[in-house]
Structure 1
């Protein structure tokens, strides 16, 4: 008599796509060679492979890894059914400790070189930014000292916490991506009280080594706009693009100049995508400032149609709000019980209503 049929349901999700790119990067093979060996029934690289896929697809907690894995076909996670049953948070922790003990710098460099060669990444323009990652808890070992021969990151409190939680500890996460598809090619984690503007020299030096040239365009926000950072990159024959902070005198000088002069705006041509969507009017214009920065660098001012529309809407709303406030003040002044009795009091109230 034939055995009864059983229906087994297994989940695929986006794992085949993730596995395709992991294979092209040869990432798991790199982990296998870079991690210390173990006699455990489940190798470190297999556990880290599961954690990595979870991070990409779900970002679930380590203690929930076993439950997350169960619906999937085991072979999609490079596991056997027996190995699935071995997964738990203890194994996840030990695998992460093995990764901490490994030569992560060399591992990351080899993965990056593979990615550049495999996908033909364009490294002529690189974009850098940083943010803070906030933690709750004590984390006494994350003090900037050595742990098992490895330097740790110091979790610090900072008044500039970007989550607006200066009471909590944080670290500073610095990431550089390509303009070609926003592919990450370099990251660094710094102590929580690190000032963003101080990180650019080291980052640029690293990128110079990775690209093998200084002739790439380094793009970053206004934290790059310091005399030290810009001059350093220029002296190394590098190129950069940054934003001029409003606190710089050059910003006020241009605003004063434009009151009495007509800038020679140059329209930027529409992109193919903008033309395809029926755009006909220019969205961007640029003009070079009449004077360079105090360091001698060019300053280019940019006009954007979108910002102009937003500014017009903002001004219109401010006018409407002022009119409503002034009408309310007028009714208030008509009331015999109004306490505003003097001309100066009326002027002060009107100024406050105008906003």
Structure 2
């Protein structure tokens, strides 16, 4: 920013973007007060208090995630008061200031801090706590992270960044497990856990459920999660403490095999419970769901309701055909290798082993019948060295050659098609109807998956540019706060559109209509808004406020804001 002098006027320009919108939603959370209660007071040698540094980092994650070394340059573009900084605050920022603030956040009682903010959000935004959805993902790291072995730092245990089942399909990278729980009302995050990279999902649900009970103040809410919840200890715990759960029955349970065998042998009285539009093509037939409750239930005595989806039936058949096609192609490639004059498959056992590997990896062993044909190849070679002549003797060589043939198993394919499109849900709620169960899982669970998408695609949780494990843990806490604010803005916009019966807003490029606005789309229309201050040679100051267009004003009104929020007072 240029400074005024006696010889020339000075013009100071600051970006606003969506900062007034973010601050509008941070204010009811009383974030600064909560951070002041848990973070240490400003140190005389620290130029930026930790509360201001964490608030700045949160706003940065919401707008445009920058590495810590570039956060000072990023902050200098904006009007300092909108970042919660004093007029000269942006010039004092550097990665060391923010890093030390993350150390302070690691040392604080982050669980109580998050709980207090979430309880405030529930109260101020009137969030419904009748149903929660939980799911997990992985945060991948590039590097050795040799010190991330769970050692204690400043008397507190740290996380182990290590290898595990990577949900980003990057088994070559180390990771942490990220578990997130959201409300059914707007998919607003209310709880998260960052866990060791080799932690399995079935170890997380009891602790998560206990904390949700503290947030809701009761145990009667419905807890919805993926199939890792379907273990006897976890379901017994929730049932024994007066809770309700809903989850998918994993294919490894005996109840699944028993019911699929029943479906293959008998025709069951399925009942249609729901029709949903095709997820991708409007002109395509709807996805029709039928339900049948297993009278035997689970071995623990819980209800199991089976559902059949017409779209899932198509996907199952397509997936099976793709697996068979891949297996056939690999078998063809194997035949080419077997026919090569320099083939290494000289023994039947080695050929059988390769076929077994192909059918297990695809997998297609149930639907393809594979046979190995064997013949003897005759060849002749000189018995002695030298140039061949009329009296040269030859040796007769016999080598086995193999050829693989295959054909589909019609009976097995027919049996497999009978169970296409099926999936089971299990619950301990005796009053929950089949349609309610389906809607709770099918329409609610994608909300938490969308928040994981926001975490990775919008807030860019990876790659991580930090090496200190305590700072990484604290940074993930700030990421949770960013997801919380993101979801609150999105929820408020969609609720307002529903109240005013607005089918869509022209938020897409070229003014195309958007039926379900996201926070990213809302932020995009405020990009480029700036405020300018001209200081004359005589000390006079003139502030030029941004001019909002009709769409920007309409969005602000839907969010409960007035256009005056973009009139900035500059000192």
Which of the five TM-score ranges fits, normalised by the shorter chain? 0.7 to 0.9
2:139 corresponds to 1:83: no
Cα separation, 2, equivalents of 1:167 and 1:112 = 36
Report SS of the residue matched to 1:208.
helix
Question: 117, 122, 129: which one pairs with 1:116?
Answer: 122
Instruction: Select the residue among 138, 141, 157 that pairs with 1:135.
Output: 141
Aligned length: 334
Q: Which of the two has greater strand per residue? A: 2
State the partner residue of 2:31. 27
Deviation at 1:222, TM superposition (A): 0.9
Contact 2:277 2:286 in 1 (8 A): no
What is the DSSP-based 3-state SS (H/G/I as helix, E as strand, rest coil) of the residue aligned with 2:138? strand
CA contact (8 A) 2:150 2:159 kept: yes
- Residues 251 and 58 of structure 1: is their aligned pair in 2 closer, same or farther, counting only changes over 3 Å? same
Partner of 1:12: 16
Give the superposition deviation at 1:306.
2.3
The 1:108–1:281 alpha-carbon spacing in structure 2 relative to 1, beyond 3 Å, is closer
- Matched residue, 2:59: 53
For the pair 1:66 / 2:72, whether they are aligned, the reply is yes
TM-score by length of 1: 0.82
Unaligned runs of 5+ in 1: 329-342
In the alignment, structure 1 residue 351 sits paired with structure 2 residue 380: no
Q: Which has the larger radius of gyration?
A: 2
Tell me how far 1:207 sits from its aligned partner: 1.6
Cα offset for 1:10? Answer: 2.5
Flag the structure with more relative contact order, 1 or 2, with Cα contacts below 8 A and sequence separation at least 6: 2
Q: Does 1:246 align with 2:262?
A: no
Q: Are residues 349 and 239 of structure 1, via their aligned partners in 2, closer, same or farther at CA, if it must alter by over 3 Å?
A: same
Show CA shifts across 1:12-35 (max 9, x none). 222222111111211122112221
1:265 Cα deviation from its structure 2 partner: 2.3
> 2:151 matched to 1:153?
no
User: Which of residues 275, 284, 302 is equivalent to 2:289?
Assistant: 284
Residue 262 of structure 1: SS of its match in structure 2? coil
Distance 1:247 1:33 in 2: 48
CA separation of 1:307 and 1:33: change in aligned 2, threshold 3 A: same
CA separation in 2, counterparts of 1:84 and 1:219?
A: 44
Matched position secondary structure for 2:218: coil
The question of whether the paired residues in 1 share the 8 Å contact of 2:277 and 2:285 is answered with no
Q: Distance in 1 between matches of 2:86 and 2:9?
A: 22
| 41-50 or 344-353, which deviates more | 344-353
Verify the 8 A CA contact 2:14 2:78 in the aligned structure 1: yes
1:208 CA displacement = 1.7
Change (3 A) 1:167 1:273: closer
Do structure 1's residue 176 and structure 2's residue 207 form an aligned pair? Answer: no
In the alignment, which residue of structure 2 is the partner of 1:335? Answer: none
